Amino acid sequence: MLERFTEDCTHSGVTTIYSLHLESFNTMKQSIFFAAVKSIFATLTLLIAFQAQAQQLPAGMTIQQVNAHVIDPAELRGVISDGEETERIAAFAFRPRVQFQSAPKLNVNAFGQDFHDKVKDRVTGYAMQLRQNGAPVYTLIWNWAQTPADANQGWKLDTRMHVASVSKYITAVAMVKLLDAKGISLDAKIINYLPAHWVKGPKVNLVSFRQLLNHTSGFASTSSASNYNFMKTMVAAGAPSNGSYDYENMNFGLCRLLLAVINGNIPQNFNVGPITDQVWDAVGISAYKSYCQTNIFNPAGVPNASFVPLPAFKNALAYKFPHNNEDGWNSGDLASMAGGAAWRLSVDDLLKVMDHVRRRNTIIPAARAQQMLDQKLGIDQAIDTPAGKIYAKNGSWSSGGRSEKSVIYYFPNGMELAFLTSSKLGAENASLTATVRDLFLDNLEGGN
């Protein structure tokens, strides 16, 4: 219609003007067309790239899962995972009030009564059980897992809570089991199983699996973090103090990636461009969780161990002490801390695992479990006492003064203890590890 109007206007002297407008219009149409084609081509290219990447993803992993995965969740920044560090590295010298001529034994009733007296007025609530050869011998349950300000829920033996660094013992058992199954020595170097695309700094080539599990890797930070990006950065910085003790969550965080490679969940040289790190982190977390459930929790009779509070289970919240009727804190989804922390378990869950690891031969051989304890793999302390060695692993997770605290102990004479509390211990934030240790020592008797 525009061209026809141009012809009709020839004698009016405006033909040139409308011809120019027609040219501009055609040019504009061409520009829009080419822009649209370019956009469609770019979209198709991106879709083809994603399709290619999806075809290369590890089994069971979808591109949607990868895109939804968050490597460094904002809610975990600023959380404190304190570790009673001075106590871990200090030598403990037992100074008994009574000299024993032969090995004494624990007075269980006196221990239990003293335990409650020592703890009950210094926590928001707690659950503790002592078992011998897998059978309960003393149980204590006190006050709130969730106060009336929340769900008005008392503690039970099956109440789950984030056990924080007690998770490291689970990870150590998983790694020992997998390495043994694959014929890989604890002294083998981890560099052969780290993501190939990571930069490896000085002395990373010296780091062994054993050094991760006893905190002598040489990785050194001042952070509680062990998310994927943090660990990648730290590995690039190197392990300058290799062979020296330095408690680091990332020593056990790395285990989830190493486990995924050794177990065949992802090739060491896996690389699909921009989404590579997303895939590595998602696969590492998933592989670690699945391996532990199948090879540790299932044999012990612990269903659906998780990194988040599950509605089907009773769940504790974290509180200040005193709680002052303030709301508790749900520490949320802890998957990005898997390996060094993250498991939500109950007193009953923990004791079932400890029983099966120590004596049932359903997870690892009992002799291997004892070697792990004596070599301090995944635990904090192995302490000589007149009754024999005791072995401890503690956990602590805090934000805004609200805390989740845990400790497990292996005692002599086939005894195991698990203790969870939904706040710090007293205004002074006393050590759970030291409190239980001293109560054990104070209640030894016989052997005279």
Question: Averaged over 370-382, what is the pLDDT?
Answer: 98
For position 52, what pLDDT does the model report? 44
Q: How far apart are CA 355 and CA 414, in angstroms?
A: 9
278-307 core/surface letters (b: 16 or more CB in 10 A; e: else): bbbbbbbbbbbbebbeebbbebbebeebbb
Among 48-52, 86-90, 214-218, where is mean pLDDT lowest? 48-52
Determine the average pLDDT of the residues in 396-421: 97
pLDDT exceeds 90 at position 167? yes
255: pLDDT confidence band, cut at 50, 70 and 90? Answer: very high
Q: What is the pLDDT of residue 20?
A: 43
pLDDT grade, residue 17 (50/70/90)?
very low
Q: What is the pLDDT of residue 39?
A: 58
The pLDDT of residue 170 is above 60 = yes
Q: What is the pLDDT of residue 91?
A: 52
CB atoms within 10 A of CB 107: 15
With a cut of 70, say whether residue 212 has pLDDT above it. yes
17 or 373: which leads in pLDDT: 373
| Contact call for residues 131 and 370 (beta carbons, < 8 A) | no
Query: Residue 11 — very low, low, confident or very high, per pLDDT cuts 50/70/90?
Result: very low
* pLDDT of 14 above 50: no
pLDDT over 90 at 211, yes or no: yes
Q: What is the mean pLDDT of residues 115-132?
A: 98
Which tokens sit at 444?
Answer: 């030894």
C-alpha 316/C-alpha 292 separation (Å) is 22
- In this prediction, residue 6 has a pLDDT band, given cuts at 50, 70 and 90, of very low
Query: Over the Cα atoms of the chain, what is R_g?
Result: 29
Per-residue confidence (pLDDT) for residue 33, from 0 to 100: 57
Give the model's pLDDT for residue 275.
Answer: 93
| pLDDT surpassing 90 at residue 188 | yes
CB atoms within 10 A of CB 322: 13
For position 411, what pLDDT does the model report? 98
The band of 235, judged by pLDDT with boundaries at 50, 70 and 90, is: very high
- pLDDT greater at residue 70 or residue 16: 70
Mean pLDDT of the chain: 88
Give residue 7's pLDDT.
37
pLDDT confidence band for 83 (50 / 70 / 90) = low
CB neighbour list of residue 14: distance below 8 Å, 6 or more residues apart: none
- Top pLDDT among 97 and 208 is at 208
- pLDDT greater than 50 at residue 9: no
Q: Give a three-class secondary structure readout of the chain.
A: CHHHHHHHCHHHCCHHHHHHHHHHHHHHHHHHHHHHHHHHHHHHHHHHHHHHHHHHCCCCCCHHHHHHCCCCCHHHCCCECCCCHHHHHCCCCCCCCCCCCCCCEECHHHHHHHHHHHHHHHCCEEEEEEEECCEEEEEEEEEEEECCCCCCEECCCCCEEECHHHHHHHHHHHHHHHHHHHCCCCCCEHHHCCCCCCCCCCCHHHCEHHHHHCCCCCCCCCCCCCCHHHHHHHHHHCCCCCCCCCCCHHHHHHHHHHHHHHCCCCCCCCCCHHHHHHHHHHHHHHHHHHHHHHHHHHHHCCCCCECCCCCCCCECCEECCCCCCCCCECCCCCHHHECCECCEECHHHHHHHHHHHHHHCCCCCHHHHHHHHHCCCCCCEEEEECCEEEEEEEEEEEECCEEEEEEEEEECCCEEEEEEECCCCCCCCCCHHHHHHHHHHHCEECCC
pLDDT for the residue numbered 23: 55
Residue 394's pLDDT band (cuts 50, 70, 90): very high
**Of 77, 123, 115, 142, nearest in space to 405 by CA:** 123
What are the CA-CA distances from residue 359 to residues 132, 151, 355, 369, 410 (Å)? 11, 38, 6, 8, 12
Q: Write down all domains in the chain, each with its CATH number in brackets.
A: 2-56 (no CATH), 70-448 (3.40.710.10)
pLDDT recorded at residue 3 = 37
What is the pLDDT, as a whole number, of residue 47? 42
Q: How confident is the model at residue 97 (pLDDT cuts 50, 70, 90)?
A: low
